[in-house]
Copies of this chain bind each other. A is one copy, B any other.
Amino acid sequence: MATEPAPPLATIAAALRRERDRAGLSLTELARRAGIAKSTLSQLESGAGNPSVETLWALGVALGVPFSRLVEPPVAAVRVVRAGEGPRIRSEHADFSATLLAAGAPHTRRDVYVMELEPGAVRVAEAHTPRSVEHVVVAAGRMRVGPETDPVELGPGDYATFPGDIPHRYEALAPGTFAVLVMEHP
């Protein structure tokens, strides 16, 4: 299940109208500033249409609003992702899956995952962005994590951090292992 909490087209329509009269602009005026035909804007706000990125971007700029505000639904006070829900990233080889819980705001990438893996398989990750850092807290089970050259063994409650820009591994040592993984990208 667990597709993105996605209502794409309808949200855009709502967001456009909301942001437009928040800015106190007429449809005609906004279309002029964004450099698009007002007919296009009219159809977008009425929910019909599937804008190109360029079009939507121009509107974002004209509204003085970050792009994401036009596509993301308004933030709820509390957002809950139940165990087993959420966008999953799965490995084909290893018995491994991770769920993206929260992605950092546009410019600050700080992702929180829940990671589940079973013993007998090793998840090897290539080097990521330079200066990225990973944090792992084991919640249940037992695992060996860290740089290929220098892994450590962790039990419940144990914490480790290591650079993400060198090859590293995740390996479960006990069944039912799951852990919280925080990744920081510069």
Contact = CB atoms under 8 A, between A and B. Distances in A.
Nearest to A151: B78
Contacts of A50: 52-54
Nearest to A2: B61
Interface in A128-186: 128, 131, 133, 135, 137-140, 146-147, 149-152, 154-163, 178, 180, 182, 184, 186
A155 B83 CA distance: 8
Given A106-B68, A146-B78, A101 B137 contact: yes
A113 to B, nearest CB: 9
Contacts of A182: 110, 112, 182
Please tell me how many copies of the chain the complex holds: 2
Interface in A82-115: 82-84, 86-89, 91-92, 100-103, 106-110, 112, 114
A8 B68 contact: no
A152 B8 contact: no
Contacts of A83: 133, 135, 155-158, 161
B159 A112 contact: yes
Nearest to A176: B156
A89 B67 CA distance: 15
Interface string A32-66: 00000000000000000011111011001100111
Contact of A139 (B79, B139, B161): B139
21 contacts: A3-B66, A4-B61, A8-B54, A22-B128, A50-B52, A53-B56, A65-B87, A67-B68, A75-B109, A76-B186, A77-B186, A80-B152, A80-B154, A81-B158, A82-B158, A83-B133, A83-B135, A101-B137, A102-B135, A137-B139, A156-B178
